[in-house]
Amino acid sequence: MNSVFQIIGPVMVGPSSSHTAGAVLLGLAARSILGGQPVAARILLHGSFAQTYRGHGTDIALVAGLLGMAPDDERIPDSMRWAKELGLDASIESADLGDVHPNTVRMELTGADGRRLDITGSSIGGGNIVITRIGKFDVQFKGENHALVVSYKDQPGVIANITSILAGEHVNIATMNVSREAKHGTALAIIELDQPVSSEATALVAQVNGVSTVMSLPPLAVS
């Protein structure tokens, strides 16, 4: 809560900063990590999300986020109709996701290119969120900064090559979260940055030996 705009704000569609605005942001985060609007989404709601989603519009808020709407978009109450129009087949279920935050959702997404990706995240209060799992990887991603999400083969030098491209762009790394499936297996790096990365630099990162996908994400947190 460093900024007065976090106290007088965000501008949002009600009723709840955690169950509505936070849910929109979780949908938006999942959309940008997938790299575009999904064509199908199986949405699994856990805990308080599962118990109170109807009254808070948590379900339609998540769908609105997946469609690219911001938390103050007045189309949010009609997001299910917009989903049909924009070609997103969304289903909502309650589920026990285990020992996680009470406001947690898993979104099992299918992209336009047929790619499948499961993304889990929690709404942790006041419209703040954290993405906790992307595919097979446990992460801690709050979407507060610009970020690069890079999947690659776990081998020496990949991170060094990526960071030297960023250094060449004068982009400062705020935090870096690296995890891997197994030694020499698939790995995922979430690199949070103080400045945005140019599309040229993103393309250079994609060409680094061992890198399979690169996603450049804008900051998600609204204030």
Partner 1 sequence: MRSISLQELAELASARGVTIGALALEWECQEAGEPAEALRGKMGERLRVMREAVARGLQGVKSRSGLTGGDAKLVAKGLAANASARLVGGEPLTTAISYALAVSEVNASMGRIVAAPTGGSCGILPGVLLSVGERVGATDESLIDALFTAGAAGSVIARRATVSGAAGGCQAECGSAAAMAAAAAVQLGGGTPQQCVQAVALSLKGLMGLVCDPVAGLVEVPCIKRNATSAGVALAAATMALAGVRSVVPPDEVVDAMGAVGRELPASLKETAVGGLAATPTGKRIAGQV
State which of residues 37, 40, 48, 221 lies at the interface with partner 1 (CB under 8 A): 48
8-state DSSP, 198: P
The CA distance from 11 to 52, in Å, is 22
Comparing CB distances to partner 1, the nearer of 76 and 205 is: 76
Please report how close the Cβ of residue 56 comes to partner 1 at its closest, in angstroms: 7
Both tokens assigned to 167? 């250094």
Q: Using CB under 8 A, which of the segments 2-10, 86-94, 144-152, 153-161 binds partner 1? A: 2-10
* Contact flag: residue 126 with partner 1 (CB under 8 A): yes
Strands (E), 61-208: 89-94, 103-110, 116-125, 128-134, 137-141, 146-153, 173-180, 186-193
State in angstroms the smallest separation of the CB of 6 from partner 1: 8
Give the contact letters, 76-95, x = binds to partner 1 (CB under 8 A), - = no: xx------------------
Q: Choose, by CB under 8 A, the member of 36, 55, 168, 185 that binds partner 1.
A: 55
Supply the minimum distance, in Å, between the C-beta of residue 110 and partner 1.
28
Tokens of 175: 């935090």
52 binds partner 1 (CB under 8 A): yes
Q: Please compute Rg for the chain using Cα positions.
A: 17
What CA–CA distance (Å, rounded) separates 169 from 128? 29
Q: 161 to each of 157, 205, 216, how far by Cα in Å?
A: 6, 8, 17
Closest CB 124 distance from partner 1, rounded Å: 10
Maximum C-alpha span of the chain: 50
Contact call for residue 20 and partner 1 (CB under 8 A):
yes
Residue 109 backbone dihedrals phi, psi, to 5 degrees = -105, 145
Nearer to partner 1, 35 or 65 (CB): 65
User: What's the closest the beta carbon of residue 60 comes to partner 1, in angstroms?
Assistant: 8
Binding of residue 57 to partner 1 (CB under 8 A): yes
Q: Is 219 in the site for partner 1 (CB under 8 A)?
A: no
- DSSP class of residue 14 equals S
# binding residues, partner 1 (CB under 8 A): 33
**Are the C-beta atoms of residues 142 and 201 closer than 8 Å to each other?**
no
Beta-bridge partners for 90: 41
Is 11 a residue that touches partner 1 (CB under 8 A)?
Answer: yes
> Which residues would be at the binding site for partner 1 (CB under 8 A)?
1-5, 7-18, 20-21, 48, 51-52, 54-57, 72, 74, 76-77, 125-127
